[in-house]
Amino acid sequence: MTAPEIKTDLMLDCKGLACPMPIVQTRKAIERLEAGQVMEIQATDKGSLADLRAWAAKTGHQYLGTIQEGDVLKHYLRKASPGDAKEQTIFPHIVANEALRHMLGQGEAIVVLDVREPAEYAFGHIPGAMSIPLGELESRLTELDPEQVVHVICRTGMRSDLACQLLADKSFGRVSNVVPGMSGWNGAVERSV
């Protein structure tokens, strides 16, 4: 059975781009659409599935679904009408990489939550960091204590920002986004492969 052809108004090629670039490109490109029009985003970054779904929910655009063809993920979004669109928010509580490195060095009782995809985590993560990919976070909230201090990290701070907003919405009161994230981390790193 072949999938039906999906009519789109704009196709965005994000193949080969890693987080946060599919979101950055999508945010720019969706401005060219009229409300109700559909956009196809082609990406090879496995994390783009959770990233685009979460971004759409936070901005009011409709995430329609994703079709995988080989290594390419074809994401479909419908642009929100002006009344449904939401102002994109940035999580206000931020911790710099250096501050996190200092806290870890002092042995502070904190949780470092890494929301990158499993392959990203496997090839380099902060020792002791807990791995819960953004796309699994909501279904795995019971693995976290809402009373603990949780510092959320990803590659650049974009996925972790979305994760922080989700945790705050679920009554986690001591959450911070680590910026600029693993792309700028110069502390200890371990591999699990």
Residues serving a catalytic function are 19
- Enumerate helices (H) and strands (E) in the chain, giving the number of each: 6, 9
Beta strands of 94-143 (E only): which ranges? 94-96, 111-114, 130-131
Phi, psi of 161 (to 5 degrees): -60, -45
d(CA 23, CA 14): 9
CA 134 to chain centre: 6
* 135-168: burial string, b at 16+ Cβ within 10 Å, e else: bebeeeeeebeeeebbbbbbbbbbbbbbbbbbbe
